[in-house]
Structure 1
Amino acid sequence: MTTDPAPRVLPAGTWPSPVSAEVLSRSVSFADLVSAGDHLLWTRTDPTSGAMRLHRWDPSDGVRALGDLDVRSRVHEYGGGAVVTGPSPDGSALVVDTAAQRLHRVGPDGSSEPVTPETGATVRWAVGHRLDGSRLVVVRETHDGGSALEVRNELVLLDAADGTQHVLVGDRDFVAAPRVGPDGWLAWLAWDHPDMPWDGAALWAGRLEGTALVDVRRVAGGDGSAVSEAAWWGADLLLTEDSSGFWELQHHDLTTGRTTALTDGGADLGHPRWVLGGDALAVLGDTVVAVRTREASSDLVRIDLHRGGDGVAVEVHDWPTATGQVWELVVHEGAVVTREVDPDGRQALRRRGLDGSLTPLDELEPVTSRPGDLGEVVPVAVGEGGERTHAFLHLPANADATTPEGTAPPLVVFLHGGPTSHTLPVRSSAIAFWTTRGFAVADVNYRGSTGFGRDYRNAMRGRWGEIEVADVIAVATELGRRGLVDADRMAVRGGSAGGFTVLAVLTSEQHPFACGTSFFGVADLAALAADTHKFESRYLDRMVGPLPEAAELYRERSPLTHVDRLSVPLLVLQGLEDHVVPPEQSEVVVAAAREKGLLHDYLTFPGEGHGFRKPENVAAWHEAELSFYRQVLRLDEGASG
C-alpha cells in the first residue's frame, strides 16, 4: 500500500504548479454554437495556433472538425455570430473567415469556397439566419470611409447562391440578433448612438415581402429600457426587457400590439450584447428555457406557458444543473444545447431534454484535474447600501504544497473589461495559473458590472474612473484587514477597461497595491473617445459625459493626468494591431513611468489585436507577469513553475 506524500510547506506564491504558462497558452474554448437542422455547429480553439476551427455534431457521426478555416467575425471588432444558424439543403455550413471576413460555404467533407467577394476585410458579416434555400438574413458591416462614424451596420437579405444583397434595415447605427418567424416575419434588435445595446436596444419586427420589409413596427425597448433576448413563440414574440430593473420575460402579441410582463423574479434573463452571438433564451413548444443570472452567477430556469382567455399564465421552475455556470443555449431537435463550465473549470456542450435527459456532446478538460488543486471560491461583499460592491475570492490550492502556518497568501486582483460586463465564479485556467502557485485571486464585480440588475449596472453612469476605483481599493483593503491575504503583497491587473481601472487605481491618491499590470489599458479618455471603433465611439457619453461639455471631466478622470502619483512598479502589455485601444494609449503611460524612473516593463505583440490569441504570446505574457510579481512582491526567486 502506498500513500500520497504530504504536501510540502512552501511560501505562498512559490509553489510548483501543474499549470505552466505553456499549458495555459494552449487552453481551449468554445464559441458560436448554432443549430443547423439535424446537426449542430460550433467553433473550438486550435491549441497549437489559437485559431477557431469549425466543428460539427450529428447523432450518427458524433463530433468532428470541418476544414481548416479560422472562423471568427470582426463585426463591432468583438465579433461573435461567425456561424450561420439554420439548415441548408446540402448540409453545408456558412461561416466567416478571420482574415478576409468573407462568408464561406463549408461542405460536410470540410471543403470550402467563398460566397461573398474579396473586400480586404472592409465588408464583414455576422449572425446570419437561413430563410429558405440559399437565402439568409445577416448583419453586414461596411468600412469604406475615413472614420469610425462612417462605418455602416445593416441588416441585409443575402442570396448565398448568386451573391445578391438587399438592405432590409439600413437607417440605424447598429442592428443585431435577427430572428426568423412564421409567414415571412422577422425580428431584430436595433439601437443608435450614444446608446450601447444594454442602454437602449429596441426589438423591431417586420414582414419580408420580396426583397423588402413591410409592416415594420417597434415591439419594445429603446425608450429608456433595453431588450436583451427575443424568440418567436408561434406568431407571437417572447423577449426580455429591463424596465422592471432586470431583464425579465415578456410576451408580445403582434396582432393586438399588446406586451405583457410574464416574470418578476429579480434576475436577469439575458446578458449585455458585447458580441453578436450567444443567446440566453430558448423556446420549445410552450416551454421557455433561459439562462438566469443572479448576483453574477448563472444557472437555468424553466418557464412553462399557458394560453388562456385572460392572457398567458406562467409556471416558473428552477432547473437544477450539475454545473458551475451556464453561458448560452440553443434549441435543437426538441431539446436545448448549453455551453457550460463545471466547478473544476471543465467546459462542456450538453444536450438537455425537458424530460431531464442529459447527453454530453463535447468537453474540454480543465488545465488541472487534481482535487487538491481546486481552491474554494468565496463570494465577498464590501460596503453597505449604495456603496456595496462584490467580488469572488479564489483561495490558493495545490495538491503538492501548502503555506507555513500563520502566513497569508499574496493577492492578485482581477479586473474584468467592459466595464459593462461581469465575471463568474468560475475556476478558469487563467485563475488556476495563479491559485496553484499560492496566490489568492480576487475577481471584482465593481459597481457598474452586469449580473446584478440595471440599478447596479447604471451606478457607473457618469462615474467611470471614480466609482470602480473606490470599489477595487475597498475590496483589496478589506481582504487584507480580515487577514485573508497578505496586505503588503497585493497586485492589480486588468485589460482594456480593466486596464484603465488598473492605471486609475495606481494613480489615485492612496491605494494598497505594490504593483500592477495593464493589458491594452486606457490612459487618456479624450484620446480614446477620438480614436476608437464605431461600436464604442460614444460609450463614454454615458460613462463619463458628452463632449465637449465634459472635457474637463475627461481630463480629470484620465490616469495620464495624474501620472505624477504613479509610485509603484508597472507592467504594460499591448497588441500592435489593436483598433479598440490603440498602442499609443499604452505608450504614453510607459513613457511616464520611464521618466519617473520606476521599475517597469513594456511588452508588445505584433499581429495581435484587442486581446492576445497566439499561444506563444499568451505564454510569454504570463511568464513575464509571474516573474514581475515574484520580483516586486519579494517572493522566492528560486521557485520553479
Structure 2
Amino acid sequence: MPRTSPYGTWTSPISAADVAAAGGGAQWLDAVDGELWWAEARPAEGGRLAVVRADGTEVLPAPWNARNRLHEYGGRPWVAIGRSLYFTHWDDQRVYVRDLDTGDVTPVSPEPPVPQGVRYGDLRRGRDGEVWAVRETSTGPRRTDVERDLVAFAGSELRSLAASHRFLTAPQLSPDGRHAAWLGWNHPAMPWDETELCVAEVRPGGAFGPHRVLAGGAGVSVCQLEWESPETLLALADPDGWWNLHRVGLDGALTKLAPVEQELGGALWKVGSRWFTPLGGGRHAVLSSGRLAVLDEHARTVTPVVPELTEWAPALAAFDGGVAGIAAGADRESAVVRVDLGTGTATPVVSSAEPPPAAYLPVPVERVFTGPDGERIPAYVYPPANADFTAPDGELPPFLVHVHGGPTGRNYPVLDLDFAYFTSRGIGVVAVNYGGSTGYGRAYRERLREQWGVVDVRDCVTVARALVAEGVADPARLAIRGGSAGGFTSAAAMTTERTFAAGTIKYPILDLAGWTGDGGETHDFESRYLDGLIGPLDTARQRYAERSPLTHAAALTGPVLFLQGLDDQICPPDQADRFVKALRGTGIPHAYLTFEGEQHGFRRAETMITALEAELSFYGQVFGFDTPGVPRLELQR
C-alpha cells in the first residue's frame, strides 16, 4: 500500500550517483573491419573518452582521452587505419597514433608553441594511408583569434590542403581518389543557416586544386555529405525548408531522393555527425527527427523502423546487413544497438546497466500546446512516478520546466535519469521544444530569428500555465531550469516573467553584448550566432541590453541557483560572476556553485552528484518540503 507523503518528499532508489553513472555512454560510433567501435565517456574517470570495441576491449585505454576542442564542441576524434588508431588527446589537443599490435603511442602532430594553441578534429581516412582533418590555430589573445584549414598527416609529415571558409568539415575522398569534398561556412551564418558543399580535384602529388561549390549557400544548409560514386555524392540539404536526402552530381545537379516534410538531418554542432548511411540498392538508413527510418529512393518513401527507440545519436553505421547506432527509448537509456532491417528488431550490442524499476520511472507524454497566437509548441510531460508513495488529497505537484540548450537543439521523449531523479521524488518535469528547436523544419527554427529571449520564454511560460490550468501543476511551485542557452532562457524568464518561483541556471549566457566577438566573452564558432538570434550588434545594441538577464538582475522574481564550470570556454564564468555579485545584499535567496576542471556541460561524476543534490535541496527550501539524504545547500541573500 503506497504511503501518503507530500510531493517532493518521496523516498527514491534513484540516487545522484546513479544519474552520474548514466551520464557517460557511447559516442562517435563506426564500423571497423566488420566490428563496431565507439568512444565511451567515463564520468568516474573525470569524463575521459575511451575508445572501445564491441567485445569490451579498450583500444584506447587510460590515460588517453579522445576529445578535442574543434569549434569548442568537438569533432570526430578517432579513425582506425589498418592496425593504427589515430586520435586527438584532450590534454594537449595533439593528434597521436596507437599501434594496435604493440600498444605504443606516438605523437603525430607537432607540439604547439602555446598549450592547446593548435587543435584538430573530424579525423578521416585520406589518400594512401593519410589522415585528413580540420586544423584550428589560435592566432592571438582573443577567443575569436582563430584560423582553420584542412590538413593531411602522413607519418609525422603535416601539410595543408585547403582553407576555403572560416569553418570547415574534414575532406572526404571520392572512391576513385580523384576528388575531395567538404562543407564550409562563414560568419555570420551558423551551419544550420547556410553551408556550402565544396569539391576540389586531388592532384597527383596530393595537393588540392581550386574548390567549386556544388550545393548549399544562400540560405541553404547542408549538414552531411557522403561519396556515392566517383561522379556523385549524397547530401542532406534543406533548399525547401526540410533537411532531405539529395544526390549531387559533380556538375552541380541536385536530385531529391524522397521528398518529405521531415527533418532527416540536424544541427551541425559537432563536426563529423552522421544522420544517414547508405545501405545499398537505393536504400538508406536515415534519422527522421531523431528516429530511425529507411529511405527507399525507388519508392520515394521514408519508413520508420523500431519506433520504440525514440532518439538516435547522429552516429549511424551500416553493419552486418543492417544498421547500428546509439539509441534510447522512453523506457531505456542510451546504448549501442544493432538493427536487423529484415525483421525490424533491435539488439543491444553490449549489455547495458539495468535501469531502475519501472515503478519509479516516468513515462513521457508527448503533448502539443497552443501559444497565444495559435502556434504549436511541442513538449514532453514527465509526471511524478513512485509506486511507494501517493500525495495527500488535493495537493498538486511542483513542476520543473526544462529548457534545452542550443537554442538550436531539442528534447526527445526518452528515459532520462536526470528527470527521474526528480519525478521519483514527486516533482514533475516538462521538457519544452520551444520555437527555434530542431526537428520541425526551418520555419519552426526561424521562429527564434531576432526573437531569442522572447519566443523561447513565452513558449515555456505558455506550457507552464497550461499545466496549471489543467490542474496538473501547482501554480505556486513552478521552476525553470536549463544550461547554456537554456540557462539564458531560464534567467530571462526569472527576470521578466512572474510565472516561476525559482530557477536553476547552469553555465549560462547572461550579457548578450558580452557574448559576441566584440564582447570577447565567447568562442569563435558562436561569436556571430546572435546576429540571427538578436540582430547585428551594430544596429540592435539596445535590443542586446534589453534582452540580457544581467540588465534586469534587480528585477529577479525569485530564488536562483547558479552552476558553473570554471574552465568553460563557451560560456565562461565571467557573466555568472557578475550576476551573482549584483545579487549580494538584495535579500533574494541564491546560491552559486563553481567547479574546477569542468568545461561546458558537466562530465565528472563528482560534479554531477554535487550539482544534482544541490538542485534538489534548492527546490526543497524554496517550495517548502524536506529533502532527506542530500546535503543542505546554503543560500545567500
TM-score computed with the length of structure 1 as normaliser: 0.92
SS of 2:597's equivalent? coil
* Residues 1:369 and 2:356 aligned together: yes
1:624 to 608, 614, 624: 614
Gaps of 5+ in 2: 632-637
- TM-superposed deviation, 1:556: 0.8
Corresponding residue number in structure 2 for 1:455: 443
Correspondence for 1:309: none
Report the alpha carbon displacement of residue 315 of structure 1 after superposing the two structures with TM.
4.4
Cα distance, 1:321 vs structure 2: 4.4
Structure 2 residue 46 is matched with structure 1 residue 50: yes
User: Deviation of residue 50 (structure 1)?
Assistant: 3.3
2:480 matches 1:489: no
CA contact (8 A) 2:279 2:285 kept: no
The residue type equivalent to 2:624 in the other structure is R
Displacement after TM superposition at 1:132 (Å): 4.3
Q: 1:133 Cα deviation (Å)?
A: 4.6
CA distance in 2, matches of 1:151, 1:341: 36
Q: Alignment partner of 1:94: what SS? A: strand
SS in structure 1 at match of 2:176: helix
Which residue in 1 is equivalent to 2:562?
572
* From 143, 153, 165, the counterpart of 2:158: 165
How many angstroms does 1:95 deviate by? 1.1
Question: Residues of 2 paired with 1:638 and 1:20: CA distance?
Answer: 12
Matched residue, 2:84: 92
> How far apart are 1:415 and its partner, in Å?
0.8
* CA distance in 2 between partners of 1:315 and 1:627 (Å): 50
RMSD: 2.1
Matched, 1:272 2:267: yes
Shift of 1:555: 0.7
Letter in 1 for 2:189: D
Contact 2:123 2:131 in 1 (8 A): yes
Distance 1:113 1:72, change over 3 A: same
Residue 303 of structure 2: aligned partner: 317
Partner of 2:189: 195
Q: Secondary structure in 1 aligned to 2:332?
A: coil
**Equivalences for residues 105-504 of structure 1 within 5 A:** 105-108=97-100, 110-119=103-112, 120-159=115-154, 161=155, 163-176=156-169, 178-184=171-177, 185-209=179-203, 210-214=205-209, 216-235=211-230, 236-254=232-250, 256-294=251-289, 298-306=290-298, 314-328=300-314, 329-332=316-319, 334-356=321-343, 358-365=346-353, 368-384=355-371, 387-504=375-492
Match runs of 1:528-607 below 5 Å = 528-529=515-516, 530=519, 531-607=521-597
Paired amino acid for 1:319:
V
Distance in 1 separating the partners of 2:52 and 2:261: 37
Deviates more, 1:39-48 or 1:536-545: 39-48
User: For the structure 1 residues 321 and 479, does the alpha-carbon distance in structure 2 shift closer, same or farther, using more than 3 Å as the test?
Assistant: closer
- Where in structure 1 are there 5+ consecutive unaligned residues? 1-5, 307-312
Structure 1 residue aligned with 2:505: 518
The alignment partner of 1:564 has SS state of helix
Q: What secondary structure sits across from 2:27 in the alignment?
A: strand
| Identity across matched positions, percent | 38
Instruction: Specify the code of the residue in structure 2 equivalent to 1:620.
Output: T
Q: CA deviation at 1:545?
A: 0.9
> Could you say what secondary structure the match of 2:201 adopts?
strand
1:21 matches 2:16: yes
Amino acid at match of 1:100: D
TM superposition shift of 1:584: 1.4
Q: Give the 3-state SS of the residue equivalent to 1:498 in structure 2.
A: helix
SS at match of 2:309: coil
- Deviation sequence 1:335-384 (CA, Å, 0-9, x none): 32111013223222122344347543234325x33121221211222225
| CA shift for structure 1 position 152 | 1.1
Q: Give the stretch that moved more between structures: 333-342 or 240-249.
A: 333-342
Distance in 2, matches of 1:40 and 1:337, equals 8
Aligned-partner SS, 2:188: coil
The letter of the residue matching 2:586 is K
* DSSP 3-state at the match of 2:513: helix
Cα shift at 1:181? 1.9
- Cα offsets for 1:87-107 (capped at 9, x unmatched): 522x22111111111112123
Q: Compare 451-460 and 335-344 and name the one that shifted more.
A: 335-344
Structure 1 residue 472: deviation in Å? 1.1
SS of alignment partner, residue 243 of structure 1: coil
- For residues 199-240 of structure 1, what are the alpha-carbon distances to aligned partners after superposition, in whole Å with 9 as ceiling and x for unaligned? 011111222112322363212111111011222222311111
2:612 counterpart letter in structure 1? H
After superposition, give the CA deviation of every residue in 1:34-58 in whole Å (9 maximum; x if it has no partner).
2333333211122422333433336
Residue pair 2:613, 2:630 contacting (<8 A) in 1 also = no
Show CA shifts across 1:52-102 (max 9, x none).
Answer: 3433336xx565453211211111111131112xx522x221111111111
Once the two structures are TM-superposed, the CA of residue 486 in structure 1 deviates from its matched residue by 1.2
CA contact (8 A) 2:306 2:346 kept: no
Query: For 1:154 and 1:201, how far apart are their aligned partners in 2?
Result: 16
User: Aligned match of 1:101 in 79, 93, 99?
Assistant: 93
| 8 A Cα contact 1:168 1:212, kept in partner | yes
Secondary structure, counterpart of 2:610 in structure 1: helix
